[in-house]
Amino acid sequence: MYRKHKEVNDVNKPLVTVMINNSAVKVLIDTGSSINLVDEETFKSLKKRPMLTKEHNPIITYAGRPMNIRGKFSAEISGNYATISSTVYVTCEEKGNLLSYETAVLLQYVPEICEVNKVRESISEKTTNHYSKLCEEYKDLFESIGKLKGVHVKLHVDEMIQPVQNCHRRIPYHIREKVQEQLEKVKLLDIIDEVTDGPTPWVSPIVAQPKPKKPNKLRICVDMREANQAIRRVRHVTPTIDDTIFELNGSSYFTKLYLNKGYHQLELAPESRYITTFSANQKLWRYKRLMFGLSSAAEVFQNAIQTTLQGIQHQRRCFGTWLHTG
Pairwise CA distance, residues 303 & 301, whole Å? 5
* Residue 127 identity (one-letter amino acid): T
Of 193 and 234, which is predicted with more confidence? 193
Query: How many Cβ atoms are within 10 Å of 77's Cβ, its own excluded?
Result: 22
Environment class of residue 200 by beta-carbon count within 10 Å: exposed (0-12), middle (13-18) or buried (19+)? middle
DSSP 120: P
Domain 13-106: assigned CATH number: 2.40.70.10
Q: What is the pLDDT of residues 242-269, one digit of tens each?
A: 877 777 777 777 777 777 788 899 999 9
Beta strands in 30-82 (DSSP E): 36-39, 69-78
Q: What is the mean pLDDT of the chain?
A: 84
Beta strands in 198-290 (DSSP E): 206-210, 218-222, 231-232, 254-258, 267-268, 278-280, 283-287
Q: What is the pLDDT of residues 87-145, one digit of tens each?
A: 999 998 876 899 999 999 999 888 866 555 655 666 778 888 888 888 888 887 777 78
User: What are the domain boundaries of the chain?
Assistant: 13-106, 142-325
Pairwise CA distance, residues 34 & 50, whole Å? 22
Pairwise CA distance, residues 151 & 173, whole Å? 39
Whole-model pTM?
0.58
The per-residue pLDDT for 223 is 93
Environment class of residue 67 by beta-carbon count within 10 Å: exposed (0-12), middle (13-18) or buried (19+)? middle
Residues 284, 150, 147, 129, Cα dihedral to 10°: 180
**Does residue 226 register a pLDDT over 70?**
yes
The per-residue pLDDT for 239 is 72
Environment class of residue 263 by beta-carbon count within 10 Å: exposed (0-12), middle (13-18) or buried (19+)? buried
- Report the chain's C-alpha Rg in angstroms: 30
DSSP 154: -
- Per cent of the chain over pLDDT 90 is 35
Q: Which of 7, 30, 14 is nearest to 38 (CA)?
A: 30
The per-residue pLDDT for 56 is 86
Contacts of 169 by beta carbon, 8 Å cutoff, 6+ apart: 205, 206, 207, 279
Q: Which CATH architecture has domain 142-325?
A: Roll (3.10)
